[in-house]
Structure formats: C-alpha cells, structure tokens
Amino acid sequence: MRTDVSADSIEVRPIYILVMGLTGAGKSTFISVITGNDTIPVGDAGTMEGVTSEVQDCTLDYRRGEILYEIHLIDSPGFDDGCDNDAEILSRIANYINTTYKLKQTLAGVLYLHDITKQRMGGVGQRNLRMLENMIGIDRWNNCTLVTTKWGCTTDPKGEESREETLRSSQKYFGAMLQNAQQAQMARFDPKSKGRALEILNPLLGHSFAPELSKQMVDPKGPMLPLGETDAGKVVADNLEELHRANGELEKLEKAQAILAQKFNQKVFTEYRQRKDKLLQKHRMQRAGRWAMRAAIIGGAVAASVGTMGPGAALLALEPGYEKIASRQRRKERAAIAKLKQDYKQDSAVATKTRGGYNPDWLEDRRVQTMEDLDDGYSLKSHSTIDVSDSEYSYIEDDLLEKA
C-alpha cells in the first residue's frame, strides 16, 4: 500500500500537543506509552512519588506519508484537590502556551485526560474543565480530545460504561464541549496499545489553533490581560475568593493573587530571543567553517592519494586531529545553549515570580530540520522515532491512504 518516499521529499513539521488533566489521571503514562520513553516518571499511588510538577516536553517523530511530524507532547502538572496551587499550575501552562504562540509554533491540540474509575467528578474536576473550555475558546473546541483512562481497573465494567455516558451527556462534564458546533472528540486510552494511542493523536495532526488564553494575554492586537483577568484565569480567581471567604487563609490568597496579576513578560522574552539568535548565528558560522575545513582536508588528501588508493580515498581522508577540535567546538556550543536556557529559566522565574520559570524549549532552533543539522550539535531532546511503514502501526497509514 505504501509508496516509497525519498528523504528529500519529506517535510518535517513540528507540532505541539498539550496534555492536561487532574493529578493521577494518567498524563505521564499516556506520553510514556506513546513515545516508548519509559524514563518519564509516572505516579505511584501509595507514595505520591512521580507526580509531575513542571511542564515537560517529550518528542515523538511520526511519519505519515511525506510529512514527518515532530510531535511535542507537553506533559503538564495536574490540578488536584488542594486548590491553593491552581493559580500556579495555570500560570505554568499559560507560560508554555503563550511562548508557543509568540514563536508562531503550531499548537495542534489539547488532550484532557480523565480517570474513568473515579466515582464522581468533584468541584476541582469541574473547575478544571471550565478552565480548559475557557483556555481553548468555545469556537476552537474541535482541537480538544477528552480521553478517559484506566479502563478495566475496577471490578465493575458496567459502572465504567455508565460513567462514560454521564460524562458524555452532562453539561456539567464533557457535554458542553461535545455538543458544540465546533465539537471536541472523546476517546479511550489503553496503555497496552501504542497503536490505539496513536489513533487518538491522528485527528489532531493537521490542526493548528490559537488558544483564547494567548489571544487575551499575548496577542498585541488583543487586550494583553494579566492571567487572572482572562476567562480561564477568572475561573481560578473566583474560586480563590470563595475559598478565602470559607477558611480565610490570607497568605495563600495573596500568593495566588500575585500569580494571577502576572502578565506575560515581553521584556525577558525579547531579550532572550535576541541572545539566542545571536548565539545560533555564531554557531551556524562555526559549523560552516567546520565543513569548509573538512572539504579542504578531503580535497588535499584526495589529491594526494586518489592516484594510489582509488576513489575510496575520500572516505579515509578526514583528519582525526581536526575532528577532535571540531568535536570540542561542538561541545562548547552545546554548553553555551544549555547555559542560555538555564539563565532564561531563572530570569523568567524571577520576572514572573513563579517557581520554574518559562519552559526554555523555545530556545531550540526550529529551523534545524535535517539530520545533519542535528548531528552537528543542535539538540532536540528526548526523541522517539516511529516510522509507521516499518512497524506494527503501518495499518494506520494504510487506513488513511484508503480514506484519502
């Protein structure tokens, strides 16, 4: 079914998919299963270890026809019952998606994970859903997939089915998003099947949208609101006031209010982007210099030995001494990028008064698109590769080709 595709004709397309949900819903598990990356920590129910506290980016290369999707799955910290930190979690997610938006990177979709074994969805779950709805924006809900997890983990399969039906039909739960003109999708996650997990991602691959939260916070044509005045932020802010009235914990309230008062810090963003561009330009020139040097070495060696050794001489001609220098230079370049990222994280944490700061992944150079570029010192971290043509997932591609 599959036709051969040459390396030249493949287009690399980086896209971002945000994974959200309450703590323990299975976000990290989903990402670990789909990327095959078993180093991602997942929660241990007993000890609370493995809880994700920072926004994290895990990349999966997924080829469909002539497009190589570089899918960035963004693992986010889960909202939980202690609502004191709702503001902090929302601000970390906001910082990530706002940066993605500012860099014109493609946000393809949001997966919202929900644990089907939960007997009921309490206040925190419902608040989280309202925040999600407002964060995306009503006319963009088709970019969201509501994914239920932990199927078969109770002794009552009928109960699981009936909870799914309640989620689907009630306006309090998923109903609003599913019965909208731009409707969200619903899916089930099975950790035993990577193939089916990929099918959850498939419909989102061609999407690209601007979340309402970023339109309200960072779009220069928009109102440039602080977090707490955006529609999503208001859900948190209103709840904080209620909490305060109920148990009057002033210190926590003030901390959360400070976070909600935060605006996207344009100054730090612009300054670091300029510094990054300068650094990468320098590295690109060094890289060009390295290749020129190699060409010179090969040229000289070929001229000297091709007569005696034949045309294969070029392959033997790379000067090992020079490669040591080149590799030292590449190491220095990597260290400089790592330092810049670290500084950015720290400075943005100070500027926005949040723990963690902005996710430094925007410093990765999206213009680096070929394997040669990657080999030559630019790091795109934690890559997992699935070539659908060579694996058990090939049926997905066949299926799509049939539909095309």
Ligand X SMILES: Nc1nc2c(ncn2[C@@H]2O[C@H](COP(=O)(O)OP(=O)(O)OP(=O)(O)O)[C@@H](O)[C@H]2O)c(=O)[nH]1
In angstroms, the first-to-last Cα distance of the chain is 12
Q: Is residue 21 involved in binding ligand X (CB under 6 A)? A: yes
Closest approach of ligand X to the CB of residue 250, in Å: 28
Residue 344 binds ligand X, judged by CB under 6 A = no
Instruction: Select 73 or 340, whichever has its Cβ closest to ligand X.
Output: 73
Quick count: other Cβ atoms within 10 Å of Cβ 257? 15
Q: What H or E segment, with its residue span, contains residue 108?
A: strand 106-115
Q: Indicate the SS3 state at residue 203.
A: helix
Work out what residue 24 binds among ligand X, Mg ion, none; the CB cut-off runs from 5 to 8 Å by kind.
ligand X
Q: Binder to Mg ion among 17, 20, 25, 28 (CB under 5 A)?
A: 28
If you search the block for the tokens 């049939």, which residue do you land on?
Answer: 402
Task: Report the partner that residue 150 touches, choosing among Mg ion, ligand X, none (CB closer than 5 to 8 A by kind).
Answer: ligand X
Nearest residue to ligand X by CB is 78
Site for ligand X in 207-226 (CB under 6 A): none
23 near ligand X (CB under 6 A): yes
Size of the site for ligand X (CB under 6 A): 22
Give dist(CA 390, CA 2) in Å, integer: 10
- Candidates 19-27, 179-187, 268-276, 373-381 — which segment interacts with ligand X by CB under 6 A? 19-27
Q: Are 20 and 76 a contacting pair, CB within 8 Å? A: yes
Query: Collapsing DSSP states into helix, strand and coil, what is residue 94?
Result: helix
**Amino acid found at 78:** G
Least distance from Mg ion to the Cβ atom of residue 383, Å? 20
Q: Which does 125 bind (CB under 5 to 8 A by kind): Mg ion, ligand X, none?
A: none
> Closest CB to ligand X among 56 and 100?
56
Q: Taking the C-alpha atoms of 77, 81, 85 and 87 in order, what is their torsion angle to the nearest 10 degrees?
A: 90
- For residue 25, state whether it binds ligand X (rule: CB under 6 A): yes
Distance in angstroms (rounded) separating the CA atoms of residues 112 and 128: 10
Q: How far is CA 218 from the centre of its chain?
A: 19
Per rule CB under 6 A, is residue 78 in the interface with ligand X? yes
As a three-state string, the secondary structure of 138-182 is HHHHHHEEEEEECCCCCCCHHHHHHHHHHHHHCCCCCHHHHCCCC
Query: Could you say whether residue 354 binds Mg ion (CB under 5 A)?
Result: no
Give whichever of 46 and 321 is closer to ligand X, judged by the CB atom: 46
Rounded CA separation 285/376 (Å): 12
The answer to whether the CB of 116 falls within 8 A of the CB of 150 is: yes
26 scored as a contact of ligand X (CB under 6 A): yes
Q: Which partner from the list ligand X, Mg ion, none does 377 bind, CB cut-off 5 to 8 Å by kind?
A: none
Tokens 């976000």 belong to 27
Q: Phi/psi class of residue 58: alpha, beta or left (left: φ > 0; alpha: ψ in -120 to 50)? A: beta
Whole-number Cα distances in Å, 90 to 58, 85, 98, 182, 360: 20, 9, 12, 24, 17
C-beta closer to ligand X: residue 53 or 202: 53
Q: Give the interface segment with Mg ion, choosing from 28-36, 88-96, 165-173, 321-329 (CB under 5 A).
A: 28-36
Beta bridge pairs of residue 107: 16
Contact status: 149 vs Mg ion (CB under 5 A):
no
Q: How far is the CB of 272 from ligand X (least distance, A)?
A: 28
Please identify, using beta-carbon distances, which residue of 191 and 195 lies nearer to ligand X.
191
Sites for ligand X among residues 27-56 (CB under 6 A): 27-29, 42-45, 50-52
| C-alpha pair distances (Å), 70 with each of 30, 62, 102, 360 | 17, 6, 19, 18
Choose the contact partner of 230 out of Mg ion, ligand X, none; CB within 5 to 8 A by kind: none
Residue 77 partner contact from Mg ion, ligand X, none using kind-dependent CB cut-offs of 5 to 8 Å:
ligand X
32 lies in the binding site for Mg ion (CB under 5 A): no
- Quick note: the x/- pattern for ligand X over 137-156, rule CB under 6 A, is ------------xx--x---
Q: How far is the CB of 41 from Mg ion (least distance, A)?
A: 7
Nearest 5°: phi and psi at 42? Answer: -115, 160
For the segment 169-208, give every residue that binds ligand X (CB under 6 A). Answer: 189, 191
Q: Min. distance of Cβ 86 from ligand X in angstroms? A: 13
Residues that bind Mg ion (CB under 5 A): 27-28, 52
Write out the residues near ligand X by the rule CB under 6 A. 21, 23-29, 42-45, 50-52, 77-78, 149-150, 153, 189, 191
